[in-house]
Structures are given as structure tokens and as C-alpha cells.
Structure 1
Amino acid sequence: MRFVRRVLAVFILVAVAVGGTQLVKSLTADADSPPAVDADNGRLSQDRLTDIGDGYTLRTDAAKAYAKLRKAARKADVTWSVNSAYRDHDEQVAMVEKFGLLENGGRAAAPGTSEHGLGLSVDLTLEWEEVEWMREHAGAYGFAETIPEEPWHWTYQP
């Protein structure tokens, strides 16, 4: 049993070292417990949201940080478009219906558990060069790539 624990510990350290914190969370979470639902998730009032362009919004603090990130990117001749940001509860339900739940092999978080529902995440249309730029610079503006399998998904971490 010690050997199994050691192998698991090494695997977790390697996963964290290569940016797999989401993987570690999923491997170490209790398989029988669903993700925690946040009562505010998907139910933010309009006065807590700020427009980031093209009809998308983020929580105000995230939107301010995003504006600085985008300004720095443009200065470096890096551009992208936004294809998703804050998702209210109904949008989260629609995502599950369209793409299926993550825990069942789909691509959508359970309603009430999405980072988008907190107004902190933005999905960007990025070419590989833009992904590399984001990986190098986004952290300086408070954004992190929180889902390693989704290089387009960036979350503000206040």
C-alpha cells in the first residue's frame, strides 16, 4: 500500500508541476460528492457586471483586469475575440443540454459550479501564438489557465 501511495504522490507532484491542478483536484476529490454549488453562481445582478465588448460581461473587478490585459496584448500586436464570458444560470443549463456534463464526458460544468457563472472566466478565440502569449503574460493581470484541456478558457483570480 505504501508503494501505491508513493506513486500517487509522485503523480500528483508531476501533475502540479506541469500545470495540472484541475486534474489533481479531480483525482483527489471524493468521487461520490458533486462539485460545490455556489448560490450566487449564474445569478449575479447587473450592477456587479461590466461590459467587456461584443455583448459579453464579467464581474467588475475581472472586467477591469481584463481591460488591462487586452490593452497589453494589443500593444504586443496580439489580438483575439471573446466567445463567452459571464453565463447566467439558464445559459449554464443550456450548455449542459448542448454539450453534456464534464463528469459524464461532456464539456459543461454542472449549473451553479461554472467559473463563468461567477463572472470570472472568459473564453477566447486564440491561435497558438496568442495562447503562448497568454501563458507568458496573463498572470501579471490576474488571469490563469484553470482548465488545462481548454487553452481558450482564462479565469481571473483576485
Structure 2
Amino acid sequence: MTVFDDTVPGVANLDPALLRALRRAAADAADDGIRFYVNSGWRSPAYQNRLLREAVAKYGSEEEAARWVSTPATSQHVSGDAADIGRGDATAWLSEHGAAYGLCQVYRNEPWHYELRPGAIDGGCPRMYADPTQDPRTRG
């Protein structure tokens, strides 16, 4: 049984360990009546750049856009290390249970953005950054 839609662009290109963790979590969430929707997984650099340009137009500056969209060089989506989960019930489920699978919300302002943190299985998820501008990985 498919526990979430693997046909969403970029799901197949996710880091294999992240994809396995998502599938395990989705299977267990399904037992609770929750269905995962991966809205965005891996992104090409060109697509990430388009999202960034759109965010600059929407928010009025590169600085404000950076709170929501990383550059292609620093995006965890471009490297296949992040997935955006849709629907509030799925993100609420992950917020409560995700650490058991190593799945952690990384940015406080993006409750849909999850990354694999294997250490979370034993020690819980690390403290979230307020937004991507606080993440040292996005300052490249």
C-alpha cells in the first residue's frame, strides 16, 4: 500500500534515508487515520531559483524573501534533504511523533518543512531556527 503519493515531483529524488523515514512515518500515521501529502521534495536549481525570484517579488526584498526561500546553492530541497508535508493533520502528527523517525521541523515559520535528523530518534529534535536566515547552512 502506498502511504503517500510517490508521484509528486521530486519525491523519488529525495535522499534515500529521508524517503525511508517518511515512508515509515506515513505508514504509522495511516494507522491513526492520517495521510501524508508531500507537497515538495527535491527541486532542481532552476526551479529553486524561480521560487526565490517569486518570493522576492512577493515580499519586496531579497532579505525578506530569504525568510521563506533559500538560494539554489543553500536549499536543502536542491540537495534532496528536505520535504514539505501538506495538510495540517499530517504536520501536527509529525510534530508529535516525527522525532521517533528522525524527522524534524527545522524552521519555526515553516511547519511543513521536515528534514532527517537521525540523532532525534534517541535525543529528540534539535531546537528550531526561527526561519532559514538563522540557519548557518543557508548563509553560503
2:55 counterpart residue number = 99
| Contact 1:56 1:84 survives alignment (8 Å) | yes
Tell me whether 1:78 sits opposite 2:34 in the alignment. Answer: yes
Change (3 A) 1:61 1:80: closer
Name the amino acid aligned to 1:147. Y
Higher helix share: 1
In 1: Cα distance, 2:116 partner to 2:55 partner: 24
| Contact 1:52 1:67 survives alignment (8 Å) | no
Partner deviation per Cα, 1:96-151 (whole Å, 9 max, x = no partner): 11112985111211221011112111111122x43321111111111100011011
2:20 counterpart residue number = 64
1:109 counterpart residue number = 70
| Contact 1:52 1:63 survives alignment (8 Å) | no
Q: Which has the larger radius of gyration?
A: 1
Partner deviation per Cα, 1:25-65 (whole Å, 9 max, x = no partner): xxxxxxxxxxxxxxxxxxxxxxxxxx943333211111111
- Any runs of at least 4 consecutive aligned residues in structure 1 with deviations exceeding 4 A, and if so which? none
Change (3 A) 1:146 1:67: same
Tell me whether 1:125 sits opposite 2:86 in the alignment. Answer: yes
In 2: Cα distance, 1:141 partner to 1:53 partner: 22
Q: Unaligned 5+ residue runs, structure 2?
A: 119-140
Q: Output the aligned Cα RMSD.
A: 2.1
Could you tell which deviates more after superposition, 102-111 or 62-71? 102-111
**TM-score for the superposition, normalised by structure 2:** 0.68
Q: What percentage of residue pairs aligned between the two structures are identical? A: 25
In 2: Cα distance, 1:117 partner to 1:91 partner: 9
| Contact 2:9 2:41 survives alignment (8 Å) | no
Q: Unaligned 5+ residue runs, structure 1?
A: 1-50
SS at 1:65 equivalent = helix
